Structure 1
Amino acid sequence: MFSTDLLTLFVAVASVGGALALQRPFSGRSSSLSAGNNAAARVQFEPVDTISNVDAFTDYDAGLFTPLEDLTYVLSGEFTSLNHPTFPKYSVRIKKSDFCDGTVGAYTGYIDVEARHLFFYFFESRRDPDKDDVIFWTNGGPGCSSSLGLFMELDLSSNLVIGPCRVTSPDNMTYNPYSWNEQANIFFIDQPVGVGFSYADYGESVNTTPEAAKDIAAFVAIFFEHFSKFKGRAFHMAGESYGGRYIPVFAAEVYDQNVKLVDAGMTPINLSSIMIGNGCTDDLTMLSSYYDMQCRPMSVPPIQDIASCIRMKQALPRCEKWFTESCRDQFDSIGCEAANVFCYSEIAEPFDRTGYNPYDISQFCDGTVEDTLCYPVTKAISTYLDRPDVRSTIGADPSFTGNFSGCSDAVGMAFYEADDSLFPTQFYIAALLERGIRALIYVGANDWICNWVGNERMTLALEWSGQQDFAAEPLRGWKVDGDFVGLTRTAGPLTFVTIDGAGHMVPYDKPKHSLELVTRWLSGSDL
């Protein structure tokens, strides 16, 4: 499904509940780019507000806007259109569906941004949709569909996922009792354009996280303005893998947009928290962890031979220094690419040769990364979503005529060529913490690609007013039904959690623990 070479180092990983992601441990531009392209390469390091359509937000007369008010007015046979004069470039198409979870209100539709169209699912809470919180969920990648997050499972007979249902074969879908909509209303969104059932009319694309954030923030505002029962409801933004880069920026955009909403006489979004599962947020703090996870008993016994570990240990300081100088401190496309090649050959290539699953080093890859991403069920899901009757039920636009693909090579490549993975999104986490937005960083302990060691180092390195208090807190165990299930550290609004026995995709490796974690987080309870 993905091409792999030494320069781009595309390594397939997975997003929450199975929305498979594309992630590489070392970032750099294609070697076809010359040093003369540095100005363009640096554009994504500008403040988020400078990377957008500046006229996306427009003043309006409140008397010109009539909200739909209630989801009961949404039709099932055709799309209902939602607009808001504050966002003249955006509209939302939504229709009621009996797809997936017949026990709750289920809706699908599109966020239309001129000629770009982003597909979404919305499921109401099974518990109390009129009072429960709202969760926004996005896939990882960049370039992978949140549709897989609804359906994927590790094993066709067990292990459930985050979404309300799961695909057990190309012909069958079953109910998931451990879905997060047991506790909350939840969105799943295929973004950016070109991902899953999302499409563009004329080849338009989005290739940076700040660009994508503008579309998401506008959609959230339009939805909440139209459906007043959700106004003021606690809103949580969640994602996994590359979501470690998406979510901090998306949440910051929603937070900053609130000022404009208030000025326009609209209700601000009650952004309560971010939730990042097995995120690759900061490449630099993740570098040394690749050695640790292979050569030290961090979750399983060492998987590398001694000679390889010694060579890796000796190469690591040079890798970190070269990466820092050429890819971070002063971007040099040629130097950064050379650092990529060196770091990959010394740190990641030895892992590739082991045959272990990069998303769960307690087991070997089932199939190949290129063919099955180590999870053969992905093929069943794609086949299921290619069925005409399923597409009609889901509400996929007939304009989308291609085969469903869990992840888009084109979108992933566009993000990497724009150096989006070098964007320092951990700074956004720190800024959100300073503003009282809670952050949950949860990690399956058996993951390699976005592992718990690197994530813990990232949380400890965050520069915010509670940094010393957080670092002073020891890791302690947390339990589910009296059983020890992992480690956690909390100080103020920041919480770090590991889940034993889980890999990159906690919600289906450990579905019960995942739902319990989310339940406690939403309620503000201690782990």
Structure 2
Amino acid sequence: MALWTWLVSLALCCYVQGAATEKIPSAASFYVQSIPGIVQNPDIPLQIYSGHLAAEPNMTRVASNDVTAHLFFVLVKNRRVADKQRVVFWFNGGPGCSSFDGLMMEVGPWRWDGKPVGSESFVVKEGGWEEYTTMVYVDQPPGTGFSFSSTDQYAHTMKDASGHFMEFLKNFYAVFPEYKNVDTYLAGESFAGQWIPFFAEAILDSNFGVPLRGVAIGNGWMDAKSQYLTYLDYAMKMSLLEEGTEDYKHVKTEHERCETALASIKDNPVHVRECGGVINGIIHKKKPKVVNGKEMCMNMYDIRYEDTSPACGLNWPPEMHAITHFLDRQDVVNAIHAQARPGAWVECRGDVHRAFKDKTEQSGVTVLPKVLQKIPVLIFAGDQDLICNYAGLERMMRTMTWNGETGLGTVQTKTWSVNNTNAGTWVTSRNLTYVKVFNASHMVPFDLPHVSHDMMLRFMGADFSKLVGGSAKIPSSLGHVSKPVFVGEEKPADKATAPAAKTPEQEKAMWEAYYNAGSAALVLVLIMLVIGLFTWYRVRKNRLRLPANQTSEAYEEEQVPLNTSMRDEEAGPLTATRKGKGKAEPVFDVGDSDDDEPYNRTGDGTRR
């Protein structure tokens, strides 16, 4: 029995030590060695960390058997040395749309290779914002993308969402303390026009001491009133409607109905139900074109394109099908440490979206003036977007009062060019910079990656004279001032990161990950050895056998699927064995619902 006692003590000691380590994960545990299907470029080395971090701000309100909120993130370290270190947290909209949109299609390091779904891969290319800046893509609020929580704990207000993000941020800095004193920016698009002002306010009001230097919002849904009232004007300006036609008369009627509703509203809600008919009248014609037996409608995110009805832009960009299939691969999920979220990845989750829908929440524009008192704000807009069009944003700025004045004032609007092409217009007034981007859609970086990168570097105040290699060689100018272009060799510090061989930091992270995995394997072997010896001992003595289904309660909590009701809509390689309902309905699940197919991305029947 002495041997038995020693083995049990050793196994329990190792188990407790391992459990304690999991509560405060090391950065190495998030290190991504490689991602299947990502074609690496030795000239563009990537250092990636990803996984889940706890994001429940109020543990006292959570029942002991609840699944607590965890946000998923992907961190991509800057590849080249800039004039200084910077970190950008990126958010997509929805609400409920994953920031993998930004990572996989917009400001991230790779792009779809165009191969058919099932044989797709992604190629690392220049143009990503991680070139000179560390990027952190966050799936939020809980339930979005690979993030999870019990559905009865979903965020319903901006205060809820801010609380989740701040708790995530606290844990992020515990794992990556080297970023706490680095110049920090928040950036995103669409409904992130709601998230970002509130998140910025929360950071600025906190005692975190985070050096938040600015925020950037692209085609943001910040002021519902201004957007609704400019749909008709934008449609006429862009020749989407012809005055006097049946379509025009219908939209004009809906516009007047919307005006009446808005006149009776004194506050600034995120959505106004009576105004949804305006944009629907623009994208759906009375006599729609029919192609191959299918009715067509306008792509609300890029008016240069059409789509089949009723999608009207939800099938765009075409990359989405390949991305969805790619993120449903088990080897990819394992590689990025996303296993804790059961079920398939869905771009936009209906249940998360509905948690915010029909609420009387105030729009982000109500918080923006307070943010502008403390930090610079960049608002940029692709001119080919209908849903969050530039006309609505310009109206918002004309009527908004900040830093003692209303509107942009009499400041000069400058021309802006990138690679000898007119990229747009640029104006700055009292901490607010507004950039209108030519020939760009709702997703500016998707259309013009190098243009959007130049814009962000300028906004962050990057010293172009100290940037060499890569996009630094692309000429650009703002007004009459051209960016200095260094034609010489890259800095030695840059060359150190260029070879395909792993850096010392990568080697350390890899070996620590191996060590953690080896330690876990050793614990498992010891436990199995103890169980085996104990079973042998009991059988030998003709005593009762150990029940075959006996497990550790703590182990069950960590390993059992968090959702016992996987839906058919999410069926795929990851969920084929989980379809249908179990014998009992769960009290809660982690957010898979009958409406988790890609839904319209805004609160008015579209995806923001």
User: SS at the partner of 1:414?
Assistant: helix
Amino acid at match of 1:344: G
User: Is 2:283–2:312's contact at 8 Å kept on the other side of the alignment?
Assistant: no
Aligned 1:14-25 pairs, distance under 5 A: none
User: Is 2:268–2:363's contact at 8 Å kept on the other side of the alignment?
Assistant: no
Query: 2:284 maps to what in 1?
Result: 352
Aligned 1:379-418 pairs, distance under 5 A: 379-397=321-339, 399-418=340-359
Query: 1:253 maps to what in 2?
Result: 202
Aligned 1:175-194 pairs, distance under 5 A: 175-194=124-143
User: SS at the partner of 1:126?
Assistant: coil
| Structure 1 Cα separation of the partners of residues 20 and 327 of structure 2 | 20
1:369 lines up with 2:322 in the alignment: no
Amino acid at match of 1:442: F
| Alpha-carbon distance change, 291 to 469 in structure 1, aligned in 2, over 3 angstroms | closer
Aligned 1:262-273 pairs, distance under 5 A: 268-273=209-214
User: Is 2:185–2:215's contact at 8 Å kept on the other side of the alignment?
Assistant: yes
Query: 2:422 maps to what in 1?
Result: 484
TM-score under structure 2 normalisation? 0.63
Of the three residues 228, 235, 241, the one matched with 1:287 is 228
How many angstroms does 1:177 deviate by?
0.8
Aligned 1:218-237 pairs, distance under 5 A: 218-237=167-186
| Structure 2 Cα separation of the partners of residues 370 and 503 of structure 1 | 14
| Cα-to-partner distance string for 1:452-499 (whole Å, 9 max, x where unaligned) | 010111122221125357222243321113321112221131100011
| Alpha-carbon distance change, 359 to 93 in structure 1, aligned in 2, over 3 angstroms | farther
Query: 2:70 maps to what in 1?
Result: 117
Q: Please identify runs of 4+ aligned residues in structure 1 that moved more than 6 A.
A: none
Query: 2:373 maps to what in 1?
Result: 434
How many angstroms does 1:147 deviate by?
1.5
TM-score under structure 1 normalisation? 0.72
| Cα-to-partner distance string for 1:186-224 (whole Å, 9 max, x where unaligned) | 110111111111122575311222211112123223333
Query: 1:97 maps to what in 2?
Result: 32
User: Is 1:163–1:176's contact at 8 Å kept on the other side of the alignment?
Assistant: no
Of the three residues 96, 111, 115, the one matched with 1:143 is 96
| Structure 2 Cα separation of the partners of residues 521 and 461 of structure 1 | 23
How many angstroms does 1:522 deviate by?
1.6
1:108 lines up with 2:50 in the alignment: yes
How many angstroms does 1:229 deviate by?
2.8
User: Is 2:50–2:73's contact at 8 Å kept on the other side of the alignment?
Assistant: yes
User: SS at the partner of 1:177?
Assistant: coil
User: Is 2:197–2:368's contact at 8 Å kept on the other side of the alignment?
Assistant: yes
User: Is 2:77–2:133's contact at 8 Å kept on the other side of the alignment?
Assistant: yes
| Cα-to-partner distance string for 1:381-407 (whole Å, 9 max, x where unaligned) | 11111111111111112x423121111
Of the three residues 457, 463, 471, the one matched with 2:409 is 471
- Structure whose alpha-carbon radius of gyration is higher: 2
Aligned 1:434-473 pairs, distance under 5 A: 434-435=373-374, 437-465=375-403, 467-468=405-406, 470-473=408-411
Aligned 1:332-351 pairs, distance under 5 A: 340-341=273-274, 343-351=275-283
| Structure 1 Cα separation of the partners of residues 137 and 144 of structure 2 | 12
Residue identity over aligned pairs, in percent, reads 29
How many angstroms does 1:113 deviate by?
3.2
1:512 lines up with 2:450 in the alignment: yes
| Structure 1 Cα separation of the partners of residues 108 and 21 of structure 2 | 24
| Alpha-carbon distance change, 221 to 199 in structure 1, aligned in 2, over 3 angstroms | closer
Query: 1:172 maps to what in 2?
Result: 121
| Structure 2 Cα separation of the partners of residues 136 and 519 of structure 1 | 15
| Alpha-carbon distance change, 304 to 194 in structure 1, aligned in 2, over 3 angstroms | farther
| Structure 1 Cα separation of the partners of residues 45 and 128 of structure 2 | 12
User: SS at the partner of 1:498?
Assistant: strand
User: Is 1:360–1:504's contact at 8 Å kept on the other side of the alignment?
Assistant: yes
Query: 1:163 maps to what in 2?
Result: 108
| Structure 1 Cα separation of the partners of residues 27 and 163 of structure 2 | 15
User: Is 2:144–2:349's contact at 8 Å kept on the other side of the alignment?
Assistant: yes
User: Is 1:290–1:347's contact at 8 Å kept on the other side of the alignment?
Assistant: yes
**Count of residue pairs the alignment pairs up:** 415
| Alpha-carbon distance change, 330 to 481 in structure 1, aligned in 2, over 3 angstroms | closer
User: Is 2:232–2:278's contact at 8 Å kept on the other side of the alignment?
Assistant: no
Unaligned segments of structure 1, at least 5 residues: 1-77, 85-90, 153-160, 262-267
| Alpha-carbon distance change, 304 to 351 in structure 1, aligned in 2, over 3 angstroms | farther
Query: 2:492 maps to what in 1?
Result: none
| Cα-to-partner distance string for 1:318-354 (whole Å, 9 max, x where unaligned) | 422312414x4499xxxx99x724x333553232336
1:127 lines up with 2:83 in the alignment: no
| Cα-to-partner distance string for 1:71-102 (whole Å, 9 max, x where unaligned) | xxxxxxx9975759xxxxxx999510033577
| Alpha-carbon distance change, 248 to 329 in structure 1, aligned in 2, over 3 angstroms | closer
Amino acid at match of 2:210: I
Query: 1:200 maps to what in 2?
Result: 149
User: Is 1:129–1:185's contact at 8 Å kept on the other side of the alignment?
Assistant: no
How many angstroms does 1:434 deviate by?
1.2
Query: 2:160 maps to what in 1?
Result: 211
How many angstroms does 1:412 deviate by?
0.8
User: Is 1:275–1:440's contact at 8 Å kept on the other side of the alignment?
Assistant: yes
User: Is 1:367–1:376's contact at 8 Å kept on the other side of the alignment?
Assistant: no
User: Is 2:80–2:132's contact at 8 Å kept on the other side of the alignment?
Assistant: yes
1:278 lines up with 2:229 in the alignment: no
State which drifts further: 375-384 or 184-193. Answer: 375-384
| Structure 2 Cα separation of the partners of residues 107 and 274 of structure 1 | 23
| Structure 2 Cα separation of the partners of residues 232 and 382 of structure 1 | 36
How many angstroms does 1:408 deviate by?
0.3
| Structure 2 Cα separation of the partners of residues 439 and 480 of structure 1 | 21
Unaligned segments of structure 2, at least 5 residues: 1-18, 57-67, 289-296, 464-476, 479-608
Query: 1:21 maps to what in 2?
Result: none
Amino acid at match of 1:340: R
